[in-house]
Amino acid sequence: MKLKDKVAIVTGGTKGIGYGIAQEYLKEGAKVVITGREKETGHRAEQELSKLGAVKYIYEDVSDLQLLQNTIDQTVSTFGRLDIYMANAGINDANKTHFIDITSEQYDRIMDVNLKGMFFGGQFAARQMIKQGEGGAIVNMASVNSYLGLDSQVVYTVSKGGIVQLTKVQAIALNDYGIKVNALAPGPIETELMRRVGNDTQLMDTILSRTPIGRIGTPNECGKLAVFLSCEESDFIFGQTIYIDGGRSFQAFPTKGYKTVTDQDYELLQQIKA
Ligand code: NAP
C-alpha cells in the first residue's frame, strides 16, 4: 500500500473528482478527511467511503479561512497528524458572462474558492506539517484551463492559471521542510460540474471532438494520479502540473475524421449524449 498510515485531507472530497481521489487514497491505506458545504452529501459520502477505511467528513467552505484552519485542527484531533493536503475544491462559472460584463462579486466568488482558499489552505496545512517535522505532500487541483484560454469562463480560467504558479512557488518555499508540492490538471472528467457543461450539447461535441482519446475521464483516474503525486514514487517531481486529459490540452483541430476516433465511435458518442 502506497499511503499506509498517512493522513490526508481532500477538500471537496464529498463528490466528483474529490470523491474519486478519496476512494483511491483509502484503497492505498490512508486515513482520509473529506470536506464540502452540503452536510447531507458529506455525511452520505462519509458513510459510503467508510467501507474502504477510516474516513471523516468535516463541514468546510474553503473561502472561509477560519473553516480552513478548523479542518486542519479537527483532522489532527481525529487522526493525530496531517501528511497529505489535496486542495481539490473548486467551482466554475456556469453563467458564461463576457469579460466586459464580469462584476467584482462574480470575480470574488470564484477566486475566493478556487485560488484564495487553495492558497491559505496550503499555508495552514504546511504549518501543521512543519510542526510535525516529517515533511508531507500538497497536491493542487488545476485544469486544462490552466493552460487553455476559455472566454466563456474567464474568472475560472484565470483562477486555474494562478494555480500553476502557486504550485511552483509553494514547491520552492516548502522544499526545505521536505514538503513536496505538485498539481494535477484534468481535462473533461465525468462529474456534476462537467455534467452542467455537458447540458450544452454543442459545447460537449466540441470538447470531445478535440480530445484525441475520444472520451471524458473518470474521477478514479484522477485519484490514481493524486496517489502517485502524494506518495514517494513521485519524489523527484517538483512544482509540476501534470495534465490528465486524454490529449485535450494539445489537440489543435477537431478529431472527427482523424484516425484516433472512427466515425462509428463518434456516432456512439452522439447516442450516449442523446
Ligand atoms: P463537483 O462534482 O462539483 O465537486 C466539487 C466538490 O467541491 C464538491 O465536494 C463540493 O461540495 C466541493 N466544494 C465546492 N465549493 C466548495 C467550497 N466553497 N468549499 C468547500 N468545498 C466546496 O466538481 P468536480 O468536477 O469534481 O471538480 C473538482 C475540482 O476539479 C475543481 O477544482 C475543478 O475545477 C477541477 N476540475 C474539474 C474538471 C471536470 O471536468 N470535472 C476538469 C478540470 C478540473 P459542496 O458543493 O457540498 O461544497
Q: 199 with 205: CB under 8 angstroms?
A: no
Q: Of ligand 1's atoms, which has the minimum distance to the CA of residue 13? A: 9
Ligand 1 pocket, residues with Cβ under 6 angstroms: 11-12, 14-18, 35-38, 41, 60-63, 88-91, 113, 141, 143, 186, 188-189, 191-194
Annotated domain spans of the chain: 7-190+217-249
Residue whose CA is at the smallest distance from ligand 1 atom 19? 61
Choosing among 3.40.50.720, 1.10.132.20, 1.10.1060.10, 3.10.20.30, the CATH entry for 7-190+217-249 is: 3.40.50.720
Mean pLDDT value across residues 116-130: 98
Q: Which of 110, 101, 229, 119 is nearest to 170 (CA)?
A: 119
pLDDT value for 96: 84
Instruction: Say whether pLDDT at 180 is over 90.
Output: yes
Is this model's pTM higher than 0.95 or not? no
Q: 82 with 135: CB under 8 angstroms?
A: no
φ, ψ for residue 7, nearest 5 deg? -115, 125
- For 177, residues 6+ apart whose C-beta sits below 8 A from its C-beta are 126, 129, 130, 135
Instruction: Say whether pLDDT at 181 is over 80.
Output: yes
As a whole number of angstroms, the distance between CA 159 and CA 87 comes to: 13
- What are the tens digits of pLDDT across the range 211-223? 888 888 999 999 9
pLDDT value for 109: 97
Q: Of ligand 1's atoms, which has the minimum distance to the CA of residue 145? A: 43
Write down the mean pLDDT value for the chain.
Answer: 91
Q: Which of 46, 117, 132 is nearest to 82 (CA)?
A: 132
Could you please report the per-residue DSSP string of 18-48? HHHHHHHHHHTT-EEEEEES-HHHHHHHHHH
Q: Which of 190, 173, 158 is nearest to 272 (CA)?
A: 190
Mean pLDDT value across residues 186-199: 78
pLDDT value for 207: 79
Q: 7 with 24: CB under 8 angstroms?
A: no
